[in-house]
Amino acid sequence: MTTVAETTHEHHGHGHDHPEHVAHHFESARQQYDAGKLGIWMFLITEILFFSGMFCAYAVYRSLHPEIFIDAAKELNTMLGAFNTVVLIVSSFTMAWAVRAAQLSQKKLLVVLLWLTLLLAGVFLLVKAKEYTDKFNHGLYPGVFNRFAQEQYPAVTEAVISSYVSTETPAAPAEESKEAPAHGEEHGSTEEPSSGAEAGHEEHAEEHGHDDHEHAAEGDAHHGGAQGVHNIHIFFGIYYMMTGIHAIHIIGGMGVIIWLIVRAHRGEFSSEYFGPVDFTGLYWHLVDLIWIFLFPLLYLIH
Amino acid sequence: MSVGATPDRFQAADAGGHHDREDNYLLASSGIGSWLFTLDHKRIGVMYLVGIMASFFLGGIFALVLRAELFTGQKLFLSEDAYNQMFTLHGAVMTFLFIIPSIPAALGNFVLPMMLGQKDVAFPRMNLASFYLWVIGAIFFLAAIIFGGLDTGWTFYTPYSVTTNTRVILALLGVFVLGFSSIFTGLNFVVTINTMRPHGMTWFKMPLFLWATYATAIIQLLATPVLGITGLLLIAERALRIGIFDPEIGGDPVLFQHFFWFYSHPAVYIMILPAMGIISELVAVFSRKHIFGYRFIAYSSIAIALLGFLVWGHHMFVSGQSQLAAVVFSGLTFSVSIPSAIKVFNWTSTMYKGSISLATPMCYALAFIFLFTIGGLTGLFLGALATDVQLHDTYFVVAHFHYVMMGGTLVAFVGGLYYWWPKMFGVMYNENAGRFFSLIVFLGFNLTFFPQFIMGSRGMPRRYARYVDEFQIYHQLSTMGAFLLGIGMVGAIAVLIYSLYRGKKAPANPWGANTLEWMCSSPPPLHNFETPPPVGDPYDYSNLRYDEREGGYVVDPGSGKKTYSH
């Protein structure tokens, strides 16, 4: 893309052909807008790639352990997810309309639409907070606090959790960085099954890295189904990472929209200068689009 | 650098007829705040330069400590744990704080807008934000060092990085923040080159340094986000044990390696491509000859950037990945060497029958071609499946990537710094001293790393604090080389710093280059050009002649060469 100079007075630029909203280092408003447009598209590409790592993790685990996703998805509230999808789509509409209002110099409408978009984003986050609260109430935390992880890996989760309250080694169990843990030391929990046979199986599983033995006594270790599915906590790790980072992007977008509202109130935007609204709109559409992928992948497909 | 420390030379009124007297970016405003909040790309480049040189010094100290410890196979002063932390920090500081930002952020920031005849990059505030993100990332790394160290190796492999007692999360936060600094720099450069090239500067009239910077920026934009999310996932794994990478709770540690190397192999090209861009400039100018194969060099920059994304698995031949994947990655790895070979051929052809001047920047350019070629050729052994099984995780690998990363990027960076220093600060350095220390650097480098190829091929593992006696001679040669290299680097930097206080005033164009940054005064005024400079072929030197009174090259008005101007 070559930007052709549109005036013949660049060398007298100061105070003559440079409107206030055109930065001194740009030749023209057109060049500034082109730069911003390309810049926001490049930024959105980096955001897509940022999420791509998580989609890769999702794809790898889904292809290798489909049963995890079949069972875990049942724990999610599809109706709340669908509602949030509608909320975001409507907010994309209000944002697109705001861009149009800016292009037509409709200041009041622009401000109203930006507020509406901000409000809808807030609704999305409230629903998300509700969802998270419900999951926490069911013991569906991320990582070692997840009840499936605690049921399946009681020794590891107990060691990690106890390390959180240890002042010596926060966030990492001390013994694991020095030598393999003695198995007997980590089975003191009152929640341990009292059966010696089961305890033996747990030690065996830990020793070999296999988790199949844990359910040998139940006779269905090699079959799918709620009682036989392993590593459900990994689904929730992926779920919280994906939806959590998406929520952070919503919050970031809200911050930028507030900045736009302040500037719109000051009357900075017009048919001659609407780039920032346009660029923020593109960002908002991406945030919406990512959710449109997250919702079916996490909530619907199983 | 604060204005208060500006050498007196810059304060002196120039009695000559220069229109730019006292009108340069260094003196355009005063006070520490004018630097900390500057939007001028040149000042941001200088601030980056100070930051990355401090990081280089720190990483260099770590390197010398390692080499000193390895002088014998027995413990001298580092425990095994301390040794592990030392090589981790050396690697992380050198990679993330120094090499990756060195050429794009410091030199690229300074030079890129001027090469386009522009006043600044497209997004000056984003540029300053990039710098402060770099500072914050550096602070996280320093915090990791101070509060408990880091012993995972710069690669943070799981599952060890999940369980070690060292400050992995602090370091990962540093990597994450530094990654965004890199993304913003890349974004700024892509937009600036795409939308702010002056009238008449078509894509194939751009200096090759801009082609290299552009290719680098593409990688920064496309690969770095994956590093960012990988870092976050590892932080979550370590903090909460979400189970994605930790095999103890069902995760897959090899998945981390795929994610990590998907960024970190393209990152190799973030490091080397700008270096190649500098070499294209230096070889052409100091051969006083049009660059040979301009379009091939330009296209090979893009080819390296794109192929660089496809080869990450060659770091994992022994990790347990499938045989088919290994074969494919091996083939792609050999493919990526072709555009690099094209560049070396074209540089050599440029020098053929050229009028070669062995100025200090050219000494570094020649060193680069030699050292980078060794690094590239030894890469063939590592890209081949059969030989890599034996050589993987030995000192052969260490020598290979140091020849590429240090022999390549660092040498090109120093050469570029010597080349643009007169423009950046308006002073000439002592040419003989510069050449002398470039020779010391070259000899010290080879003495450090060539023995490592030999001991690596004989089985010396990397990252070991202790070794058996048969390797001692190689380690001792390497250690002596490292200290010689250290002397050379300190000397080279000292020559530059000395010039700030005692250097002769630099003319606008001391080297006779035809890229646009040499068409404004040295040092440049705040907005670079009073009027847009005329655009021509950046490698056509026929319109330039040496002016004794000026002490540098000036445009010959009688040359009759056509140029474009507004």
Read off the pLDDT of residues A94-122 as tens digits, 9 standing for 90 and up: 999 999 999 999 999 999 999 999 999 99
* Nearest CB to B165 within list A5, A174, A241: A174
Instruction: Write the CB contacts of B358 (distance below 8 Å, at least 6 apart in sequence).
Output: B286, B366, B435
Compute φ and ψ for B108, nearest 5 degrees: -60, -45
Q: For the segment B110-152, what is each residue's pLDDT rounded down to a tens digit?
A: 999 999 999 999 999 999 999 999 999 999 988 998 888 888 8
Chain B closest-CA separation from residue A123 CA (Å):
26
Crossing angle between the packed helical segments A78-103 and A107-137, to the nearest 10 degrees? 160
Q: Check: CB of residue B553 under 8 Å from CB of residue B547.
A: yes
Q: Which residues pair with B553 in a beta bridge?
A: B546
HSE-CB of B337 using CA atoms within 13 angstroms: 19
Amino acid at the residue A47: E
Residue with tokens 């001991």: B455
From B549's Cα to the closest Cα of chain A, the distance in A is 29
Measured between beta carbons, the chain B residues lying within 8 angstroms of A10 are 532, 566
A45 chain-B contacts, CB cut-off 8 A: 221-222
Q: How far apart are CA B338 and CA B342, in angstroms?
A: 6
**Which of A52, A56, A241 lies nearest to residue B236, judging by beta carbons?**
A241
The answer to whether A144 contacts B228, with C-beta atoms less than 8 Å apart, is no
Question: Span A258-279, mean pLDDT?
Answer: 94
The residue type found at A285 is H
State residue B302's pLDDT score. Answer: 94
Q: Which residues contact B257 (CB under 8 A, 6 or more apart)?
A: B157, B315, B316, B319
User: Which residues on neighbouring strands pair with residue B546, listed in sequence order?
Assistant: B553
Binding-face residues of A in 172-191 toward B, CB within 8 A: 172-174, 176-177
Say what angle helices B41-69 and B80-92 make with each other, to 10 degrees: 160
Q: From the list A35, A47, A61, which residue is nearest B196 (CB)? A: A35
pLDDT of res. A59: 92
Locate B396 and state its tokens.
């052969």
d(CA B404, CA B388): 17
Q: What residues does B547 pair with on adjacent strands?
A: B552
Contact between chains at B249 and A245 (C-beta distance less than 8 A): no
- Alpha helix segments (H runs only) across B93-207: 100-101, 109-115, 124-146, 160-163, 168-195
With b for 16 or more beta-carbon neighbours within 10 A and e for fewer, the A64-78 pattern comes to: ebebbbbbbbeebee
**Residue in B closest to A142 by C-alpha:** B242
The closest alpha carbon to B466, from B99, B78, B41, B28, belongs to B78
CB B486 within 8 A of CB B60: yes
pLDDT score for B152: 87
Which residue in the set B190, B244, B531 is minimally distant from A42, CB to CB?
B190
Of B467, B107, B136, B496, the C-alpha closest to B282 is B107
pLDDT of residue B365: 98
| Numbers of helices and strands, H then E, in chain B | 18, 2
Instruction: Report the alpha-carbon distance of residue B337 to residue B325 in Å, rounded.
Output: 19
* Per-residue confidence band for A10, with pLDDT thresholds at 50, 70 and 90: very low
The pLDDT of residue A90 is above 60: yes
- CB atoms A230 and B197 under 8 Å: no
A14 vs B: CB within 8 A: no
Minimal C-alpha gap between B249 and chain A (Å): 7
At A155, give phi and psi (nearest 5°): -70, -45
List the single residue in B with minimal CA-CA distance to A41.
B187
> Which residue from B199, B230, B243 is facing A143, i.e. has the nearest CB?
B243
Beta bridge partners of A270: A273
Nearest CA in chain B to A4: B199
Question: What is the residue whose two structure tokens read 């800016």?
Answer: A102
First to last CA, chain B: 37
Rounded to the nearest angstrom, the minimum Cα separation between A224 and chain B is 17
Mind telling me how many Å the CA of B197 is from chain A's nearest CA? 7
pLDDT at B559: 60
Backbone angles phi, psi at B505, to 5 degrees: -65, 140
Report yes or no: A161 at the B interface, CB cutoff 8 Å: no
Nearest to A60 among B163, B183, B255 (CB): B255
> Minimal CA–CA distance to B51: which of B120, B101, B108, B126?
B101
Please list the pLDDT of chain B residue by residue as tens digits (566 residues): 333 344 444 444 333 344 444 579 998 888 899 999 999 999 999 999 999 999 999 999 999 999 999 999 999 899 999 999 999 999 999 999 999 999 999 999 999 999 999 999 999 999 999 999 999 999 998 899 888 888 888 888 878 888 888 889 999 999 999 999 999 999 999 999 999 999 999 999 999 999 999 999 999 999 999 999 999 999 999 988 888 888 888 888 988 999 999 898 999 999 999 999 999 999 999 999 999 999 999 999 999 999 998 989 888 888 888 888 889 999 988 998 899 999 999 999 999 999 999 999 999 999 999 999 999 999 999 999 889 989 989 999 999 999 999 999 999 999 999 999 999 999 999 999 999 999 999 999 999 999 999 999 999 999 999 999 999 999 999 999 999 999 999 999 999 999 999 999 999 999 999 999 999 998 999 999 988 888 989 999 988 989 888 889 998 876 655 554 43
Structure-model confidence comparison of residues B98 and A233, the more confident one: B98
A236 part of contact set with chain B, CB < 8 Å: yes
SS3 for B33-95 is HHHHCCCCHHHHHHHHHHHHHHHHHHHHHHHHHHHHHCCCCCCCCCCHHHHHHHHHHHHHHHH
DSSP H helical segments within B309-426, as ranges?
Answer: 323-351, 360-383, 385-391, 395-404, 411-425
Are B229 and A209 in contact (CB < 8 Å)? Answer: no
* Beta-bridge partners for B282: none
Q: Do B229 and A233 touch (CB under 8 A)?
A: no
Residue B427 phi, psi dihedral angles, 5° rounding: -130, 150
What is the β-pairing status of strands B544-547 and B552-555?
A: antiparallel
| Distance between CA atoms of residues B420 and B412, nearest Å | 12
Candidates B79, B118, B241: best to mutate against A (most CBs of A within 10 A) is: B241
Residue A194 pLDDT > 60, yes or no?
no
Q: What's residue B543's pLDDT?
A: 87
Residues of B in contact with A60 (CB under 8 A): 252, 255
Residue ranges of A 249-288 with Cβ closer than 8 A to chain B: none
Written as six digits, the tokens of A209 are: 């890295």
Closest CA to A45 of B225, B159, B98, B386: B225
B208 close to B293: Cβ distance less than 8 angstroms: no
Who contacts A253 (Cβ-Cβ below 8 Å, separation ≥6)?
A121, A280, A283, A284, A287
CA dist B1 and B43 (Å) reads: 10
Q: Residue type at A107?
A: K
Residues A42, B244: C-beta atoms closer than 8 Å: no
Give the C-alpha separation, B488 to A278, whole Å: 53
In the predicted model, is pLDDT for residue A153 greater than 50? yes
Long-range contacts of A21-30 (CB under 8 A, 24+ apart): A21/A268, A21/A272, A21/A273, A23/B124, A24/B119, A24/B527, A25/B113, A25/B118, A25/B119, A25/B120, A25/B124, A25/B527, A26/B196, A27/A3, A28/A3, A29/A272, A29/A273, A30/A3, A30/A6
Kindly report the nearest CA distance between residue A37 and chain B, in angstroms: 9
Q: In this structure, how many other beta carbons lie within 10 angstroms of the beta carbon of residue B226?
A: 26
- Within 8 A of A54 by CB-CB distance, chain B residues are 229, 233
At residue A273, the 3 state secondary structure works out as strand
Work out the angle between the directed axes of helices B253-287 and B360-383 (0-180°, nearest 10). 150
Interchain proximity A53–B233, CB inside 8 Å: yes
Cβ-Cβ contacts under 8 Å, B229 against chain A: 50-54, 245
DSSP B533: P
Q: How far is the C-alpha of B23 from the C-alpha of B10, rounded, in Å? A: 10
- Report CB contact under 8 Å: B244, A38: no
Q: Is A207 exposed, middle or buried (0-12, 13-18, 19+ CB in 10 A)?
A: exposed
Residues from chain B contacting residue A1 (CB–CB below 8 Å): 194-195
**Three-class DSSP category at B555:** strand
Instruction: Please tell me which of the candidates A31, A234, A245 has its beta carbon nearest to residue B244.
Output: A234
Q: Do B259 and A56 touch (CB under 8 A)?
A: yes
Q: What's the confidence (pLDDT) of residue B372?
A: 96
Contact A42 B532 (CB under 8 A): no
Dihedral sign computed on CA atoms, order B89, B95, B99, B102: negative
Tell me which H or E stretch contains B232. helix B208-240
From B263, B266, B183, select the one nearest B227 (Cα to Cα). B263
Structure tokens at B345: 């051929």
Q: What is the DSSP string of A166-220?
A: -SSSTTS-TGGGTSPPPGGGG---TTS-S-HHHHHHHHHHHHHT--GGGGGGGT-
